[in-house]
Amino acid sequence: MDEKVVEMNLSLDEEKSADNEVTVETVKHYEDTNRAEIEGTMVSRFDAGKAVLLTILVTTGREKNETSGITVVATGDLYEKAVAIKEGRRVKVTGEMRTIPDRKNPGFYTCQVFAKELEEAKSQLEEEFDIKGRVYDQSFNRVFVVGTVSRLIQINRNYIKVVIQVKSDKKTRYIEGSLIARNMKNVIPHVMVGSRICAVLEMRSTKKEIDGKPVFRKDAYIVDMKEI
């Protein structure tokens, strides 16, 4: 619920009565939020029994010239929907992002989307001409978060990890987002442990070599953020 702050400027001098005024300023209240919206092409599916893991191909990066495979977990009522979707079909997912320990890489975390809504979607070509195209349509890949900063982990002078505490559905979860900034002096004074923030994140998958072995990472990057 939004709160209203009332400021009054009153004068007993009749000549200054025109200066008497009441200013009402609405202070917006932001509730904790964790909403992931993903739309892209389903390229693989893994049936884990009680859950189906879908890999959704999306475009990522500042120039949108990279591709990433986002893992979407479908359970419960969405299980049958996920099983029925064929590879190569366009899928729209709404859910929440979770940062969970990476079993294959101890000490690291991986990001997944736990679906709350899942449905097949049409590309722009299908919407306009009712035919399926031969190239991947522009995708959508965003996570909208409101929460409290619980940790700041500085990797180097231009790169920090922000751990955000989000309370939803009577549960407390922690989301890890990487922030790359050319000048951290513009960020650190405003965003500290305990700060309330709004943030927009993008999920990305990358391949790195650690000890000569390929390691696949699925992280979230903060593309915009503001303290509230």
Dump the DSSP string for 12-66.
S-GGGGGG-EEEEEEE-----EEEEEEEEEEEEEEE-SSEEEEEEEEEESTTS-E
Helix (H, G, I), strand (E, B) or coil at 114: strand
CB burial readout 162-191, b (16+ within 10 A) else e: bbbebeeeeeebebbbbbeeeebeebeeeb
For every residue of 177-226, DSSP letters joined together read EEEE-S-GGGTTTT--TT-EEEEEEEEEEEEEEETTEEEEEEEEEEEEEE
Per-residue pLDDT of the chain (228 residues; tens, 9 = 90+): 555 554 444 445 555 555 555 556 666 778 999 999 999 999 999 999 899 999 999 988 776 778 899 999 999 999 999 999 999 889 999 999 999 888 877 777 899 999 999 999 887 788 889 887 766 667 899 999 999 999 998 888 888 899 999 998 789 999 999 988 776 777 777 888 999 999 999 999 887 777 777 778 899 999 999 898
The secondary element (H helix, E strand) that includes residue 155 is strand 140-156
pLDDT at 121: 87
pTM of the predicted model, to two decimals?
Answer: 0.80
> Cα separation of 20 and 8, whole Å?
8
Sign of the alpha-carbon torsion through 173, 176, 177, 183: positive
| Of the candidates 202, 192, 106, the residue with the CA atom closest to the CA atom of residue 145 | 202
Is the distance from CB of 57 to CB of 43 less than 8 angstroms? yes
> Cα separation of 93 and 113, whole Å?
9
Q: Residues in the chain, how many?
A: 228
Residue found under tokens 């903060």: 222
- Written as six digits, the tokens of 6 are 């009332």
pLDDT at 15: 56
Of 2.40.50.140, 1.10.3720.10, 1.10.150.110, 1.10.10.10, the CATH number of 33-227 is 2.40.50.140
pLDDT at 168: 82
pLDDT at 216: 80
Domain range list for the chain: 33-227
pLDDT at 149: 96
